[in-house]
């Protein structure tokens, strides 16, 4: 068994609660969760990757669960979020690492691939386009603009926090109902998530990720060129993102592969855990060489 251990790591002026497993001298892999999850979203994947010889670290990202929650929107700009992972790599003594990210975790991964490519062995991005592609699609594509209406709501002051806390976080829990696999999120799982959402300052911090995206716009996609190997995994039943965004993001890369999982939702990590695990492991083995 490769059960994770939990500890706090100081990095980039913040404190990060992490789940960690596998050999300390193995290739470092960061598993980065998205909204509204925390390290727990990777629970089905940590052990298998650790047993395969990887040093697996799944942090609660800035603002989530038991990690630091700095005040203010500017603290959640993508450059700070990417710097967190670089600093965690430094704290773990790794010159290079691979990132596997879902949703906002993938957005952080794209930021790293764009601005910190020397530190990356590779990026596996699940159901999140490159931030430049996402911003442009929300502006120019009617279908994506419709799917991103929730983003405009989350940008508002104060109201999102009230809505998300209401009725024991009913709105956040309801987002998981779009999963395509029955039982993808059990009642016990939802209890764990509610505990994380109830941490002081967590909801405001989580929403600030969205607010910060529109304060500090990414550069135009025509100016983006990514050199590290990239695997994009996309659940095509995503209610928040059009499937073509996977290919649009891959076109920014010198070396990218796209895999669509037709019957999976935005929660592809939970809808198709075995298939996703195989794809990630195969990619990591190539990236580690």
Dihedral sign (CA 179, 262, 221, 254): positive
Measured CA to CA, the distance from residue 234 to residue 272 in angstroms comes to 11
∠ at Cα 17 (12, 19), nearest 5°?
120
Cα–Cα nearest to 44, from 285, 270, 265, 284: 270
pLDDT computed for residue 289 by the predictor: 82
pLDDT computed for residue 216 by the predictor: 79
pLDDT computed for residue 195 by the predictor: 98
Options 60, 266, 270, 271, the catalytic residue: 266
- Written as six digits, the tokens of 46 are 């940590």
Please state whether beta strands 5-11 and 230-237 pair in parallel, antiparallel, or not at all (unpaired). Answer: unpaired
pLDDT computed for residue 178 by the predictor: 96
Structural domain spans, the chain:
5-287
Q: Which residues contact 191 (CB under 8 A, 6 or more apart)?
A: none
3-state secondary structure (DSSP) of residue 54:
coil
> Residue 60 has what DSSP assignment?
-
pTM: 0.98
Element of type H or E holding 135: helix 131-140
**Topology of domain 5-287, CATH:** Rossmann fold (3.40.50)
Cα–Cα nearest to 131, from 110, 146, 159: 110
Chain centre to alpha carbon of residue 81: 11
Chain centre to alpha carbon of residue 110: 10
Options 84, 103, 238, 271, the catalytic residue: 103
**Diameter of the chain measured on Cα atoms:** 49
Cα–Cα nearest to 197, from 205, 188, 186, 208: 205
Measured CA to CA, the distance from residue 45 to residue 190 in angstroms comes to 18
Measured CA to CA, the distance from residue 71 to residue 248 in angstroms comes to 34
pLDDT computed for residue 3 by the predictor: 83
Cα–Cα nearest to 280, from 219, 229, 226, 244: 229
Low-confidence ranges of the chain (pLDDT < 70): 1-2
Element of type H or E holding 97: strand 97-102
pLDDT tens per residue across span 75-132: 999 999 999 999 999 999 999 999 999 999 999 999 999 999 999 999 999 999 999 9
- Residue 103 designated active-site: yes
Measured CA to CA, the distance from residue 248 to residue 254 in angstroms comes to 13
pLDDT computed for residue 173 by the predictor: 97
Cα-only R_g, the chain: 17
Measured CA to CA, the distance from residue 29 to residue 89 in angstroms comes to 9
> Residue 39 has what DSSP assignment?
G
Measured CA to CA, the distance from residue 274 to residue 44 in angstroms comes to 9
Measured CA to CA, the distance from residue 221 to residue 252 in angstroms comes to 7
Cα–Cα nearest to 69, from 118, 28, 13: 13
Options 193, 210, 236, 271, the catalytic residue: 210
pLDDT computed for residue 10 by the predictor: 98
């Amino acid at each position: 068994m490769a059960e994770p251990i939990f500890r706090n790591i100081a990095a980039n002026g913040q404190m990060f609660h992490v789940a960690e497993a596998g050999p300390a001298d193995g290739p470092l892999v960061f598993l980065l969760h998205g909204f509204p999850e925390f390290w727990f979203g990777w629970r089905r994947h940590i052990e298998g990757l650790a047993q395969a010889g990887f040093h697996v670290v799944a942090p609660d990202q800035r603002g989530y669960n038991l990690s630091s929650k700095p005040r203010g929107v500017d603290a959640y700009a993508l450059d700070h979020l990417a710097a967190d992972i670089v600093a965690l790599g430094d704290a773990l003594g790794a010159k290079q690492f691979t990132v596997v990210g879902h949703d906002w975790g993938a957005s952080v991964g794209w930021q790293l691939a764009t601005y910190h490519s020397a530190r990356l062995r590779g990026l596996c991005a699940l159901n999140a386009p490159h931030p430049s592609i996402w911003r442009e699609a929300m502006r120019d594509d009617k279908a994506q603009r419709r799917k991103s209406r929730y983003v405009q709501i989350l940008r508002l002051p104060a109201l999102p926090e009230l809505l998300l806390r209401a009725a024991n976080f009913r709105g956040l829990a309801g987002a998981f109902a779009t999963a395509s696999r029955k039982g993808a999120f059990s009642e016990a799982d939802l209890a764990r998530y509610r505990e994380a959402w109830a941490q002081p300052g967590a909801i405001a911090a989580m929403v600030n990720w969205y607010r910060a995206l529109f304060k500090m716009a990414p550069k135009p996609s025509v100016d983006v060129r990514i050199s590290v190997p990239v695997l994009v995994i996309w659940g095509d039943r995503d209610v928040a993102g059009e499937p073509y965004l996977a290919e649009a993001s891959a076109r920014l890369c010198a070396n990218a592969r796209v895999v669509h999982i037709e019957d999976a939702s935005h929660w592809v990590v939970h809808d198709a855990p075995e298939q996703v695990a195989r794809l990630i492991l195969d990619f990591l083995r190539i990236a580690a060489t």
